[in-house]
Amino acid sequence: MLLVVTLLALIGWLLWKDSRSREHWRRLGLDWEEACPLHRPLALLRSLAPGLPQVCRLYRSSSAPVLGFFKGRTPVLMVRDPALVVAIMQADFQHFADKRHPIQLDKSEDPLSQHLIGLTGEKWKMIRSKLTPIFSSGKIKESLPLMEEAVDDILPELKAEEVDIYQLAVTLVTDVILSYAFGLSRQDPNRGLVRRMGMKSIQANYRIALKRAIRFCFPKLFRLLRLRAFEPQVTSFFVEFVKHAIWKIQASSHIGRADFISRLGSVAAVVPEEERDGMVAAQVFSFYVAGFETTCFALSTSIYELSKNPEVLMKARKELDPLLEKHGCFSYEALQEATYLTQIIQESMRMYPADYATPRICTKPYQIPGTNIVLEKGTEVLIPGFCLSRDPRYHDDPLKFDPERFSTENKVNIIPGTYLPFGDGPRKCIAVRFSMLELKYVLARVISAYDLELDPTTPRELTFDENSRVTHYCGRILVRFNKRRNLLSELIPEN
Ligand code: HEM
């Protein structure tokens, strides 16, 4: 009898708590969408990690500047108003300094989670300040020869038959990560193993998706179950590998290579010894966590649009041919002058931002300007970058690929907060310069050497995968690489 009463009381308490948490946004008086009821467990589970279609549906469901919704029972605020987006990301950053709830990480078991995206508060500030100089223009410039090596290997392989562009991007980007982030020369026998472990670390399956959802929605449960963000095998491999590589660098067998790993001494210097190996490995590992899918996606969608728009490709060639003639190769300086090429990448990222929704956590109570609404500390905020950069109110004819939007005359008309491919404010992508250089270099080489032809089986308009954590299209993009006739680079004598 006592057991039945206790059970009924517990159920009653849970239902009361459930209905109270579902009232969160009503209490604040905002436009909001009901949380998923308990009797629809699958939909409830799905709502824990809203994919691109759910985010777009929510964005379109309201015309208010902000909209409340729920991830499971966690209240999340979607910011639809560009001016408020700018305030949150820039001017009022001190109220939204984190991207995730701080999780008490078990540094010895899950050290790779200490990459910059996962860090919060003072630790984030300290590590970001140490990493920023490593991503400066001067340092990034030195990565160009490593990119050159990767492209030199792959370019001659391209044929006038269908090439899966994403797979091509995977090969190229992995090569650059191995050389630049991990400091592995092309002859290094470890390249194959690091490549395999890197791919293993980013592979997606339902088990990993579930773990991720638990981690973000129920961090205490995540800790209680002693779950880990990365497989133990992947973690110990990368921590040991990076530790060994740094030891080799210190032993000076590494002199002369301008890679990322060689420069992490400044990070190691500010971390307590017991955390050092994991913290340093996590920063190298961020090239996989933060830089892999994003760069592959940006590269493949840019090539997709170039194949669909030969007039854009020809215009880019008109810019690139004289630059190649003037500089003899696509040097850093030549690429700096390739402004139309930059416009192509910017426009491609407007149509296809890799991060479809950027999170922030309210780290200090925040009164939404012009309202009486105060967001509590801990409130999750979501900035729907994909929807903002395709909203016809802010970008005319948004599904038209038009690099002219980013010309010197036109780009001043872009409304701040409606174009966020790399995020914004102090938590903006730390690797913007590196990524732009990589994209520009690869595209310059492709454009100047090949005519691109979209395979007829590839759709003229992309649809998007609803289960992917970053933007990803459904199916494959197949492109034929037809050797350009009268290749300018062939007319220029070597050296
Ligand atoms: C085209 C390629 C890339 C795109 C589109 C991209 C996009 C983004 C976006 C949207 C954010 C979130 C910014 C925000 O919250 O305001 C971000 C953060 C970040 N990205 Fe990138 N990224 C790219 C490449 C890379 C690469 C190659 C790395 C290599 C390390 C990298 C490292 C990071 C890190 C560490 C952060 C977190 C910064 C922080 O929280 O302080 N990204 N990136």
Residue among 126, 179, 286, 294 whose CB has most ligand 1 atoms within 8 A, to mutate? 294
Q: For residue 133, is pLDDT > 70?
A: yes
**Rounded Cα gap, residues 118 and 216, in angstroms:** 11
Q: Give residue 189 CA to ligand 1 midpoint distance, Å.
A: 29
Nearest CA to ligand 1 atom 40: 117
Nearest-atom number in ligand 1 for the CA of 299 is 1
- 429 annotated ligand-binding residue: yes
**Rounded Cα gap, residues 380 and 377, in angstroms:** 9
The stretch 351-369 carries a mean pLDDT of 97
Q: Give residue 173 CA to ligand 1 midpoint distance, Å.
A: 15
Percent of the chain topping pLDDT 90: 61
This prediction has a pTM of 0.92
Q: Give residue 432 CA to ligand 1 midpoint distance, Å.
A: 7
Lowest mean pLDDT among 149-153, 199-203, 285-289: 199-203
Structure tokens at 401: 């690929």
Binding site membership of 101 for ligand 1 (Cβ less than 6 Å):
no
Q: Give residue 368 CA to ligand 1 midpoint distance, Å.
A: 27
The stretch 167-193 carries a mean pLDDT of 91
Residue for token pair 């949380």:
35
Binding site membership of 418 for ligand 1 (Cβ less than 6 Å):
no
Structure tokens at 191: 């390249």
Instruction: Render pLDDT for 61-114 as a digit per residue (tens, 0 to 9).
Output: 999 999 999 998 889 999 999 999 999 999 999 999 999 876 655 666 788 888
Query: Which residues, 6+ apart, have CB-to-CB distance to 476 below 8 Å?
Result: 164, 165, 166, 458
Binding site membership of 433 for ligand 1 (Cβ less than 6 Å):
no
**Rounded Cα gap, residues 381 and 99, in angstroms:** 9
Lowest mean pLDDT among 159-163, 251-255, 278-282, 488-492: 488-492
Nearest CA to ligand 1 atom 35: 116
Nearest CA to ligand 1 atom 12: 423
Binding site membership of 65 for ligand 1 (Cβ less than 6 Å):
no
Nearest CA to ligand 1 atom 27: 291
Q: Give residue 138 CA to ligand 1 midpoint distance, Å.
A: 19
Nearest-atom number in ligand 1 for the CA of 426 is 41
Residue for token pair 């039945």:
4
* Spatial contact of 160 and 483, defined as CB atoms under 8 Å apart: yes
Q: 259 — alpha (psi -120 to 50), left (phi > 0) or beta?
A: beta
Mean pLDDT of the chain: 89
Binding site membership of 298 for ligand 1 (Cβ less than 6 Å):
yes
In whole angstroms, what separates CA 16 from the centre of its chain?
39
**Rounded Cα gap, residues 78 and 75, in angstroms:** 10
In whole angstroms, what separates CA 147 from the centre of its chain?
20
Nearest CA to ligand 1 atom 39: 427
Residue for token pair 């992309």:
462
Q: Give residue 124 CA to ligand 1 midpoint distance, Å.
A: 14
Nearest-atom number in ligand 1 for the CA of 359 is 15
Q: Sorting pLDDT into bands at 50, 70 and 90, what band is 493?
A: very low
Q: Give residue 287 CA to ligand 1 midpoint distance, Å.
A: 9
Binding site membership of 287 for ligand 1 (Cβ less than 6 Å):
yes
Lowest mean pLDDT among 200-204, 392-396, 426-430: 200-204
Q: For residue 437, is pLDDT > 60?
A: yes
**Rounded Cα gap, residues 397 and 420, in angstroms:** 18
Binding site membership of 424 for ligand 1 (Cβ less than 6 Å):
yes
Binding site membership of 434 for ligand 1 (Cβ less than 6 Å):
yes
What are the Cα distances from residue 405, in Å, to 169, 205, 306, 317, 426? 26, 38, 16, 19, 26
